[in-house]
Amino acid sequence: MKQARFRNFGEAQRDDWALIDARFRDYIDDAPRRVLAHLHNLAGDHHGYPVDRYEHCLQTATRALRDGADEEMVVCALLHDIGDDLAPANHAEVAAAILEPFIDPLNAWMIRHHELFQGYHYRHFFGQDRHAREQYRDHPAYERTVRFCDEWDQASFDPDYDSLPLEHFVPMVERVLGRAPRGGLPEPLPKESLPEETP
């Protein structure tokens, strides 16, 4: 497959960037598949919980769907813990980073803060303030984040729940992550439009 030949960016020419840009767009289009493949990494180890994180994610998404949440919210529910294996001390940031370019900023805020909000249900067992989420009481995403955690996330550790299979959610993930990223992507300029200082 064709690839650029430069050894450093100082040698790279417009046609190199055009070639790389074309490949990058294919790579972005394939991102939903890679995200879903990564979700499988959460299967297997329960970490002491009644269900593993993969089942927890399916169950959270299923509950959201059955409660009438919109597609974007269901996808948020499915992917909200996808960072658990790579960033166990900071997992919410991973899901927020993956989803943020494609979703409502309030939903991205919800994902980013879900760990603190979820803490209402366990922080007191660790000598922490379970009401810490109240500092965000006036935030426009407060109510949805409370609902996300109280009704779907913290409730989804039931080994006997009839969660829908991942296949049910695949088209939803493809549609949400297949949206144009907010702000768009820069495209290589045509040769005749390049600035003068371009080598």
Look up residue 6 and give its amino acid: F
At its nearest, how many Å lie between Fe ion and the CB of residue 75?
Answer: 14
Taking CB under 5 A as the criterion, the residue among 107, 153, 169, 176 binding Fe ion is 153
**55 counts as binding Fe ion under rule CB under 5 A:** no
Q: How far apart are CA 103 and CA 177, in angstroms?
A: 9
CA torsion through residues 50, 107, 91, 117, sign: negative
Would you say 43 or 189 has its CB closer to Fe ion?
43
Q: Tell me the number of residues near Fe ion by CB under 5 A.
A: 2
Would you say 17 or 117 has its CB closer to Fe ion?
117
Q: How far apart are CA 51 and CA 71, in angstroms?
A: 24
As given in the structure block, the two tokens for residue 10 are 């100082």
At its nearest, how many Å lie between Fe ion and the CB of residue 153?
Answer: 4
Would you say 81 or 100 has its CB closer to Fe ion?
81
The one segment of 44-52, 76-84, 94-102, 119-127 that binds Fe ion by CB under 5 A: 76-84
Cβ atoms 75, 108 nearer than 8 A: no
At its nearest, how many Å lie between Fe ion and the CB of residue 80?
Answer: 6
**84 counts as binding Fe ion under rule CB under 5 A:** no
Q: Give the 3-state secondary structure of residue 124.
A: helix
Q: Which residues of 57-67 are buried (b: 16+ CB within 10 A; e: fewer)?
A: bbbbbbbbbee
CA distances from 48 to 42, 45, 52, 53, 89 (A): 13, 8, 9, 11, 16
Would you say 77 or 177 has its CB closer to Fe ion?
77
Angle between helices 166-177 and 71-79 (to 10 degrees): 110
Would you say 76 or 172 has its CB closer to Fe ion?
76
The one segment of 125-133, 148-156, 160-168, 182-190 that binds Fe ion by CB under 5 A: 148-156
Site string (108-147) toward Fe ion, x via CB under 5 A: ----------------------------------------
Taking CB under 5 A as the criterion, the residue among 81, 112, 172, 176 binding Fe ion is 81
Q: How far apart are CA 198 and CA 22, in angstroms?
A: 21
Look up residue 62 and give its amino acid: T
Residues that bind Fe ion (CB under 5 A): 81, 153
